[in-house]
Amino acid sequence: MKETKRTYAMPDNDMLTSCKTLVTHAREDFAELKKVDPTLTIAMVDKWDADVNSGLEDFSSLQTRSSISIATQQVATLMEECKDTIQLLYFHVEQEFVENPSIILDFGKRGAEKAKKNAEKMISLLSLVICTYEKPEINARLKLRFAADFKETLTSLKKRLTDAHVQQSLAKSSQPAETESRILRYNAIWAFTRKLSETAKIAFRNSYAKQQQYNLYDVPAAKKEAEDPKKEKPLDSVEE
């Protein structure tokens, strides 16, 4: 399925605010605009105005981002707790089994660095750690270094991270359809705004001040070339 993309580069709220400004001018100048475009009706302007207002009052995107942000922060917090716990475990394992350093590999030491950067890998690592810790010959020696409920601590940590990761995935999965619907609505608003802007340029071709009221300034999306210090960054584009 082809990804739905915005037809404008500025942030949504900036685009809607610009459109709202043009709505005000278009109502005042409706007669002049209609002379250039006879298909234009006040009902079309009313709908445009209503759609812009609806967009400005739509906080669902903020709610979606907030849900994702909260879930992501929870995962990040638990990941830090996991890192500390695993680091402590590895220290004691290496100290206790100094005569057999390969034991640390049974606790997943080779994959620890990757697990620190990925919640799914960390959950898998915790599963391996718990399984290895339960081995009688290993548990017998490590229980003197850890509290009696250390295994329960590991199990609880794994469950909390798993739950948080699930919530993060659910929050992210609710985003695509909601975002696509919004983009389609906002693209339609922007298309009508551009149409009015072009109409005004003809209607007020002898008035520079009026033309300026209908100019649209759209900030271009960042380009990879801009990362190259040898290349000049593009200036903000102006709809002519």
Contact 9, 218 (CB under 8 A): yes
The residues, ordered by sequence, that sit 6+ positions from 138 with a Cβ below 8 Å of its Cβ are: 103, 106, 132
Q: According to the model, what pLDDT value does residue 182 have? A: 83
- What percent of the chain lies above the pLDDT cut of 70? 84
Q: Can you tell me the distance from the alpha carbon of 208 to that of 194, in angstroms, rounded to the nearest whole number? A: 18
Q: According to the model, what pLDDT value does residue 29 have? A: 96
Q: Can you tell me the distance from the alpha carbon of 54 to that of 65, in angstroms, rounded to the nearest whole number? A: 19
Q: According to the model, what pLDDT value does residue 187 have? A: 94
Q: Indicate the DSSP class of residue 237.
A: E
Q: Can you tell me the distance from the alpha carbon of 21 to that of 14, in angstroms, rounded to the nearest whole number? A: 11
Strand partners, 218: 237
SS3 140: helix
Task: Give the dihedral sign, CA 129/74/118/64.
Answer: positive
Q: Can you tell me the distance from the alpha carbon of 77 to that of 162, in angstroms, rounded to the nearest whole number? A: 13
Q: With a cut of 70, list the residues of the chain below it in pLDDT.
A: 1-3, 59-66, 174-178, 218-240
The residues, ordered by sequence, that sit 6+ positions from 191 with a Cβ below 8 Å of its Cβ are: 7
Q: According to the model, what pLDDT value does residue 230 have? A: 45
Q: According to the model, what pLDDT value does residue 232 have? A: 44
Contact 214, 197 (CB under 8 A): yes
Residue with tokens 């250390």: 150
Phi/psi at 71 (5° precision):
-65, -40
Q: According to the model, what pLDDT value does residue 70 have? A: 85
Q: According to the model, what pLDDT value does residue 223 have? A: 44
